[in-house]
Amino acid sequence: MTRTEAPLPQGEEKSRVVRRLFDTISPRYDLVNRVMTFGMDRGWRRRAVGALRLPGRALVLDLACGTGDLCRELEGWGYRAVGVDFSHGMLSAARTSAPLVQADVLRLPIDGARVDGVTCGFALRNVASLDAFFSELARVVRPGGRVALLDVSEPDGPVMRLGNAVYFRRIVPVIGGLLSDRGAYRYLPRSMAYLPPPEAMVAMLRDAGFPDTDRQQLSGGLTQLLAGTRG
């Protein structure tokens, strides 16, 4: 008999599930990421920070910062980084000298047009509302500022797409179960279903106030990078 999976949570329930999940996996999150991505996640973060193209000492928020990998990358490029996450477990496990704030990325405790840029790594599918998230980015980023947002993707080619689906849905939960929490790493591949089609996501970010938004596929389409300038 085929097991029927429970529907993915929505709204506030989704926020509670995601917070609890990341609190649970925070102690070994970095290790599992390195193993799962074969270390490619480092290059993806470099591409995201490079896409900002901001002047030195620009103030950049890293939203859903987790353990601070992107904060460290931002500081390495000479930016002033501030990390924001609503998971206490992730912030407790963070390894960065950047200031860290526990807050909901949909309701940032920051005045409008106060930051030069925003990065976000692999959390677009975890927010309760992507429209609300993009609107919040537009609120806090100054005109001319930049955003660079990473998340998982499905490759265009059928062979790579099939291989990625098998790996992400079958192998990743096994790796996660061996090294961390199997239930969490069963949920994370399923969470790809939250992401709109790429062209819809680009249109959403443009409509929110980043009119030149473009999308790049990284590593053959395993990951996508959305980058745009605040109009």
* pLDDT given at position 31: 86
Please tell me which residue, 189 or 113, carries the higher pLDDT value. Answer: 113
CATH ID of 11-229, from 3.40.50.150, 3.40.30.10, 3.20.20.70, 3.30.1330.60: 3.40.50.150
DSSP state of 109: S
* pLDDT given at position 158: 81
The label of the residue with tokens 């996508």 reads 224
25-75 pLDDT, tens digit per residue, is: 998 888 888 888 889 999 999 999 999 999 999 999 999 999 999 999 999
Please tell me which residue, 187 or 45, carries the higher pLDDT value. Answer: 45
DSSP assignment string, 21-83: HHHHHGGGHHHHHHHHHTTHHHHHHHHHHHTT---TT-EEEEET-TTSHHHHHHHHTT-EEEE
Distance CA 197, CA 104 (A): 25
Residue 3, pLDDT > 90, answer no
Residue 170, pLDDT > 90, answer no
Half-sphere exposure for 97 (CA within 13 Å, toward CB): 7
CB of 130 closer than 8 Å to CB of 214: no
* pLDDT given at position 125: 95
First CA to last CA across the chain, in angstroms?
Answer: 53
State the pTM of this model. Answer: 0.93
Residue 1, pLDDT > 50, answer no
Strand order, beta sheet including 115-121: 100-102, 80-85, 59-63, 115-121, 141-152, 223-229, 214-218
